[in-house]
Amino acid sequence: MANELWKEMCSYADTKLDFMTKTRQDFHRFAESGWHEVRTCSLIARHLKNLGYEKVLMGRECLKDDARMGLPAQEELDYIYQRALEQGADPEFAPYFKDGFTCVVAVLETGRPGPVIATRQDIDALGVLESREESHRPAREGFASVNDGEMHACGHDAHAAIGMTVADVLWKYRDLLNGTVKIIFQPSEEGVRGAKAVAESGLLDDVDYILGCHMGARKNGTDTQLGFNYFMNMANAKWDVYLTGRACHAAAPEEGHNAMLAMASIIQGVYGIPRAGCGDSRINVGQVTAGTGRNVVCDRVKMVMELRGLTQAALDYLEPYARSIIEHSAAMHGCTAEIKVMGASPCAPLSTDSFVDELVALARKLGYSVEEPKACPNSEDYTYLAQRVMAHGGRSCYFSCLSDYPAPGHATTFDIAEKDLPNAVKFECAVITYLMGITIV
């Protein structure tokens, strides 16, 4: 019976490819970046309610208000809400997601004893201006982002479609399952800003197992379907730095305080920080906004930067060093500096090692082609969720659904092959069913 149940789940998931393709392309076209995901959340909530889910947590029910990082200004949030309504947000559910409370959680309570299992699907877009070249499939086929400067360049549109389909499959076979499943549609993973607010909401405090799913690039010439991560990823700090000086005529520069000079000193200084012996590290100044004219001494600068450490000690070494450089470089040129923390994630395991081994073995028994588990050099705020669950003895596994990418993640020409999406749905459902104690192989 159990094997038949698994076969039926797979067959049903395959029938949802058209839904996943259309949903993923719709979210791609109306891309919403971190804390903007009003339209996305409202359509996810509508889908869950239409399926029959009675318990759908929305907005403030699944986020701790003061744990949200990098929240946009209220004027921006107001604009985004109106834009979402104009672009087809569900008017019944959109109000739940106003003011940056953009999170949805589907809760399936079977009423039968069993574990509490959570899955995380991140749903936000990146701050990328999407290519309009004919060679870029979304542009050619008419689903490139209509929101300039917001693009699904990392597959989170696919993650949302995967999570919605997992919810569908589990609901259809709910009478044969046991325990509780929480499917978390998380905002603002880019910039590592959203998971902390989910973790601190208390949503995970009864969770026994948590799964993180992400799209990943398949190696050229292979047919691998899944990838797994064993190790810690890089601790991360995202900063916005504001420098304030005094403007004056460029013909009399001594009458001003040049914030541009302070910025130049800062950039040279932070890139010159000696590498730490306690772990690999990274610093990047990714964007600078400065100046008002060629004959005006610059009085205001905004710098967008990040710091990463492959160990927590490496990041702890970098942060005070970089702060000192910023503050003293500003003072050297008669300017002031303000540092705003816009996001952060700890150096912590994404997965419980033994749990990864168990699920890799399960995937291979199910016939999946699996990459050897490896370290992840990136940063991911899923670490907050994993930490919360592991703290009370729960287990975590972070895996990737592999697809053919025409360009690397975060590129203006990023895309995925939707044909690979059912693999992720089937495997998530397989793991959930397996953790419920139902034999599937």
Q: What is the pLDDT of residues 57-87, one digit of tens each?
A: 999 999 999 999 999 999 999 999 999 999 9
Residue 232 pLDDT > 80, yes or no?
A: no
CATH 3.30.70.360 fits 235-345, yes or no: yes
Mean pLDDT of all residues in 251-278: 95
Q: What pLDDT is attached to residue 176?
A: 95
Phi–psi pair at 275, nearest 5 degrees: -65, 150
Residues 164-190 pLDDT 10s? 999 999 999 999 999 999 999 999 999
Residues 369-384 pLDDT 10s? 998 876 666 788 999 9
- Per DSSP, the chain holds a count of helices (H) and strands (E) of 12, 11
Q: What pLDDT is attached to residue 234?
A: 86
Q: How far from 256 is each of 135, 262, 331, 368, CA to CA, in Å?
A: 49, 12, 13, 65
- Mean pLDDT rounded to a whole number for the chain: 94
Q: Which residues, at least 6 apart from 199, have a Cβ–Cβ distance to it below 8 Å?
A: 67, 384, 385, 387, 388
What are the structural domain ranges in the chain?
Answer: 2-233+347-435, 235-345
Q: Which residues, at least 6 apart from 14, have a Cβ–Cβ distance to it below 8 Å?
A: 422
Its pTM surpasses 0.85? yes
Mean pLDDT of all residues in 405-418: 95
Strands 209-217 and 116-122: parallel
Residues 83-135 pLDDT 10s? 999 999 999 999 999 999 999 999 999 999 999 999 999 999 999 999 999 99
Q: What distance in Å separates the CA atoms of residue 386 and residue 204, rounded to the nearest whole number?
A: 9
Q: What pLDDT is attached to residue 310?
A: 87
Query: Which range among 154-158, 292-296, 310-314 shows the weakest confidence by mean pLDDT?
Result: 310-314
Q: What pLDDT is attached to residue 275?
A: 84
* Cβ 413 vs Cβ 229: under 8 Å: no
CATH of domain 2-233+347-435: 3.40.630.10
Query: Which range among 188-202, 301-315, 375-389 shows the weakest confidence by mean pLDDT?
Result: 375-389
Distance linking the first and last C-alpha atoms of the chain: 11
Mean pLDDT of all residues in 5-31: 96
Residue 1 pLDDT > 50, yes or no?
A: no
Closest listed residue to residue 303, CA positions, set 264, 256, 273: 264
Q: What distance in Å separates the CA atoms of residue 263 and residue 212, rounded to the nearest whole number?
A: 38
* Cβ 412 vs Cβ 129: under 8 Å: yes
Top-confidence residue, 242 or 232: 242
Closest listed residue to residue 392, CA positions, set 212, 211, 206: 206
Q: What distance in Å separates the CA atoms of residue 370 and residue 387, rounded to the nearest whole number?
A: 25
Q: What pLDDT is attached to residue 279?
A: 86
Residue environment code for 315-341, b if the CB has 16+ CB neighbours within 10 A, otherwise e: bbbbbebbeebbeebbeebebebebee
